[in-house]
A and B are shown apart, each in its own frame.
Chain A
Amino acid sequence: MLRYTLTRLLSLAISLAVASVVIFLAIEILPGDPAAFMLGVNAQEDTLAALRDQLGLNGTLWERYVSWVGGMLTGDFGTSYTYRTPVAGMIADRLWISLPLAIYALLLSTLIAFPAGIWAASRRGSAADVGVMGTTQLGVAIPNFWFAMLLVVVFAINLQWFSAGGFPGWDEGFWLSIKSLTLPAIALALPQASILARVMRSALLDTLSEDFVRTARAKGLSRRQALWRHALRNALIPVLTIIGLQFSFLLAGGIIIENVFYLPGLGRLIFQAISARDMIVVESVVMLLVFAVILVNFLVEIAYALVDPRLRHRA
């Protein structure tokens, strides 16, 4: 298990290094001079040169790459071209909304999907199964921004249980913040839960038809016992894969939902940064998201090995 973890860590480090090079080069070849953009069309040539120097745009490719990576490793992400504030601080502010929102949505999605998927699989072909399959079909099909607006109309405008948008900040109290993230989390979780429930159901149906479940039944386990004790853990591998993918998506892909609820999250930050050609912000946010995706993959792989002893011995 230790060797497995170490090899996974090594592959995590390599992936990060490769990703940093790719992101850096991709941003480099994009047209547009940030200095010219910041100073406008009437800028003097010498002011432009001074600004380029100040922004560190004049070194060789290699020097700029090393200073960018070195900065990130020490927590210095550089200074935003448009806002003239440290990027690290900007990202940290946004991350404190996007990360809790992603975790919240993932928790909701899992809490809905597991029982629904297990329920449907254990009663295959019954009304419960048909109901779960129909509902999840709908959940996948409904666009989440539309569902988000529906939530606002019902729970914020009519019932007035939640505010229609905005984020008070964690300083204003934990529960208040959670409350303001609830509608967005539900809107994000619905399609994810639908997909996850379907994956859970089909994975469980596959394992329920395995020989070892029949063996368990021959030992005297009831259907329910065989499902909980033998089938469920075996069905988790595909489910964990989907959960990993969903988390990465939730962290970065909430941009539409963030807009519907006026949440200053990472998605909106990157959107604004791209519009303003604030490349240093784009670079840093993308790198952060890549890091998050790779880290989640690493955690999912560790979870695989915890579930399945056969993987622990494979490096």
Chain B
Amino acid sequence: MSLLSIEGLSLEIGRHTILRDVSLSVDPGQIVGVIGESGSGKSMTAFSVMQLLPDGARAHGSVMLSGHDMLALPEAQLCRLRGNEVGMVFQEPMTALNPIRTIGDQVAETILIHERASKSEAMMRAREALNRVELPEDRFPLTRYPHELSGGQRQRVVIAMAIALRPSLLIADEPTTALDVTTQAQILDLLKRLVREDGMGMLMISHDLAVVADMADEIVIMRHGEVVERGTCPAIFGQLRHPYSISLLEASTHAPDRQAHTEEAPLLRVRDVVRTYTLPRNTLFGAPGRVEAVRGVSFDLKRGESLGLVGESGCGKSTLTRAILGLEEVQDGEILLDGEPVFTGHAPNRAVRRRMQVVFQDPYGSFNPRHRVDRLICEPFHLLDAPPRGEARDAAIAEALTSVGLAASDRYKFIHEFSGGQRQRIAIARALIIKPELILLDEAVSALDVQVRAQILDLLADLGRRFGLSYLFISHDLSVVRVITDRCLVMKAGEIVEQGPTERVFSDPQHPYTRQLIAAAPDLPEIA
């Protein structure tokens, strides 16, 4: 008999149907991957198993976990199963732990709730659980607080909480989406090891085909609350039938059609840039500590080129981006756009600033929700000495919107009326409206679903061709950088450790760190 068996599960929240007739099963020791875009219902399937649904949700069908009918059990019995029979790991390790309680306390709580153990015994077993997730006692005593740990370490604590009682099923909802590639690889290895050691079943939810393909025994593909395809992995990748699954796979490996029109003259020249931050003083009169975020970085970006900047969080790539945009002054070195410094005196140089624009990661947070689209995308006009007015302004708005594939009439809408992909198009329109020569894309497609991401990459390639744009493409996602850039830089701890033509860097990495990054990135299986 299956460990978890979901049959004909439907879910409504209010008047919205979230899940329709979902069926899947997990056997002991088996890893089942559930793949889908945001809104496909994959997380809600997980929460249905846990019975941690939002208020007003109504589930029908059957969810059997080790012989328990989860939809029929009263809340008190569900509490006894959660954490004991089934453990869960979440997407956001930074916020998944209580910030004001120690990690030992929080892991021990799982044990104390379910078993009649003394506090000291629970603490001892919490120690064992933390050891199992590779947080050794000398560096991670039980008295640590979550804010003293990194994202990957916090995710390990969450995993320790979930497996402390050796549950028979582990549900992992996008457990590595918020993490860097190398950390992601470590966490996936850890999960695989725990599944093997304990003979647990695991339901692994992800939007990333490659992550799931690496570890799952079986794959379930969901869309709009329905299962569209399921099969064993990796065989399923050779025999996908549903058009959605096929397009999903294509989008995951999509390479936009683009040729380089690079001129030799450099557009952006970065020379020996140093940016250090002063830390708060540790003692009243002692010298404050310093962090060298960028340590002597030099590179050129040629006109018409698409240059990638790859690195993990904390490597200094965001600091460098802000310095290039003239948002922060650097302590040493120079940044020149077409020979002109981005910073003159102690103020950003407006004449240079208007020739470059930026698109950020978060399509939800980077717009003022109370302004209409026309006002939002006209914001860069403040960089011009004589911004267009009246008809000229209207024409500029219409041109910017149509060039990113939106209608000119969208200018009257508010930002909440658009999807994530459309918002990112608006962000690009905002960048385009003053006809810049360089656009910085700071993780610009990282928050998007694969299919939307593929469309935006196509759009960027097309715009680059039409307007002769140069791109600086900053990302932690190697697969995207590989398909959209001509040349790439690998950054680590404030320094550029490797640079070269993108294809050469990926196929023949020279620096050990580049090799480590590429090895850690999950791959889709080769399909005949």
Contacts and interface: CB of A to CB of B under 8 A. Distances in A.
B145 A212 contact: no
A230 B146 CA distance: 14
A314 B280 CA distance: 8
17 contacts: A212-B99, A214-B96, A215-B88, A215-B90, A215-B96, A219-B109, A219-B110, A219-B162, A220-B80, A225-B113, A230-B98, A230-B101, A233-B100, A234-B98, A234-B99, A234-B100, A307-B100
Nearest to A221: B113
Interface residues of B, number: 34
A8 to B, nearest CB: 13
B141 to A, nearest CB: 14
Nearest to B46: A218
Contacts of B100: 233-234, 307-310
Interface in B284-306: 284
A315 interface: yes
A309 B281 contact: no
A211 interface: yes
Interface in B137-189: 145, 147, 158, 161-162
A152 to B, nearest CB: 44
A12 interface: no
B76 interface: yes
B348 to A, nearest CB: 31
Contacts of B284: 7
Contacts of B95: 210-212
Nearest to A215: B96
Decide if the interface of chain A is mainly helix, strand, loop or mixed: helix
Interface string A212-248: 1011111111100100011001100000000000000
Contacts of B83: 218-220
Chain B CB within 10 Å, residue with most, of A217, A219, A225, A314: A219
B406 interface: no
Contacts of A222: 75-76, 79
Interface in B18-76: 50, 52, 75-76
A223 to B, nearest CB: 8
B468 to A, nearest CB: 45
B145 A218 contact: no
B97 A217 contact: no
Contacts of A219: 82-83, 109-110, 113, 161-162
Interface in A282-315: 307-310, 314-315
B161 A217 contact: no
A7 to B, nearest CB: 8
B82 A218 contact: yes
A135 B284 CA distance: 49
A314 B110 CA distance: 30
A91 B50 CA distance: 63
Given A218-B83, A229-B109, A310-B145, 8 more contacts: A211-B96, A214-B52, A215-B97, A218-B82, A220-B113, A230-B98, A230-B101, A315-B280
Nearest to A212: B98
B249 interface: no
Contact of B50 (A218, A308, A310): A218
B114 interface: yes
Contacts of B52: 214, 217-218
A211 B281 contact: no
Contacts of B145: 309-310
B51 to A, nearest CB: 10
Contact of A220 (B79, B97, B101): B79
B84 interface: yes
A80 B419 CA distance: 71
A165 to B, nearest CB: 45
Contacts of A210: 95
Contacts of B98: 212, 215-216, 230, 234
A217 B113 CA distance: 11
A181 to B, nearest CB: 36
Interface string B87-107: 110101001111111000000
A214 B43 CA distance: 13
Given A211-B95, A309-B145, A310-B145, A218 B87 contact: yes
B110 A308 contact: no
Nearest to B171: A218
B81 interface: yes
A167 B98 CA distance: 48
Interface in A175-231: 210-212, 214-222, 225, 229-230
Given A308-B99, A310-B99, A220 B82 contact: yes
User: What are the 4 closest A-B residue pairs judged by CB atoms, nearest first?
Assistant: A220-B83, A219-B83, A211-B95, A218-B88
Interface in B319-340: none
A310 B146 CA distance: 9
Nearest to A310: B147
B281 A215 contact: no
Nearest to B102: A309
A230 B158 CA distance: 15
Contacts of B97: 212, 215
Nearest to B161: A219
A30 B294 CA distance: 56
A90 B158 CA distance: 60
Contact of A218 (B80, B99, B114, B162): B162
A211 B92 contact: yes
B76 A220 contact: no
A249 B434 CA distance: 53
A315 B288 CA distance: 12
Contacts of B82: 217-220
B104 to A, nearest CB: 13
B162 A315 contact: no
B161 A215 contact: yes
Chain A CB within 10 Å, residue with most, of B80, B92, B281: B92
